[in-house]
Amino acid sequence: MAKLNINGKVRDVQAEPDMPLLWVIREQVGLTGTKFGCGIAQCGACSVHMNGEVQRSCSIRLSDVKPTDKIVTIEGLSPNASHPVQKAWLAIDVPQCGYCQSGQIMAAAALLKKTPKPTDRDIDEAMTNICRCGTYQRIRAAVHMAAGMPTGSGSTAPAQRKRA
Ligand code: FES
Ligand code: FES
């Protein structure tokens, strides 16, 4: 039995210590907005915030998470999809198939927290999530739009990426 703080709620979870946090979130807690893509920390589909930093949950073991660690998933980013990033994503109609997009949104929210007015280069460097549908241009536009909106809730900091 482990205790996890997810989206402000403490949850008791029953899982093997080496189970990836991604599967705990999806299968034990039932929050399925966080996606599985590669399982090896490359694609970013599984991105969540942990203590204000964006992290790839497929590559974090349950035993490496402390009860005091604050995890935020896409479901907890804002109460009513009211985070500026979510609003901009909707306004620009960013998603195509949508599979990568919760990870993209979590990465964008993290970037804006650290760099409120990012350049295209900042966006490319910080958001290393892969989109098989190639929505990168709309992602950039939406990040710029969100940067011009009043700051909402959310957390975090960027990761490294090479675009495939
Ligand atoms: S599923 Fe975690 S980075 Fe791809
Ligand atoms: S919208 Fe399809 S993978 Fe990104």
Pocket of ligand 1 (CB under 6 A): 36-39, 41-46, 56, 58
**What is the Cα–Cα distance from 6 to 120, expressed in whole angstroms?**
31
Question: How far is residue 150 from each of residues 6, 51, 93, 101, measured CA to CA in Å?
Answer: 25, 22, 20, 22
Q: Taking residues 138-161, what's their average pLDDT?
A: 69
134 touches ligand 2 (CB under 6 Å): no
pLDDT of 15 strictly over 90: yes
Ligand of minimum distance to the alpha carbon of 100:
2
* pLDDT single digits (tens) 137-149: 999 999 999 999 8
Q: What tens digit of pLDDT does each residue of 47-105 get?
A: 999 999 999 999 999 999 999 999 999 999 999 999 999 999 999 999 999 999 999 99
CA of 117 to the centre of ligand 1 (A): 27
Q: Which amino acid is at 45?
A: A
Predicted confidence (pLDDT) at residue 159 exceeds the cutoff of 50:
no
| pLDDT level of residue 36 (50, 70, 90 thresholds) | very high
**Ligand 1 pocket: which of 23, 24, 26, 43 to mutate (most atoms within 8 A of CB):** 43
pLDDT at res. 82: 95
Q: Is 53 helix (H, G, I), strand (E, B) or coil?
A: strand
Q: Cα 41 vs. chain centroid, distance in angstroms?
A: 13
Question: Residue 152: its pLDDT value, please?
Answer: 44
Q: Distance (Å, rounded) from C-alpha 12 to C-alpha 24? A: 11
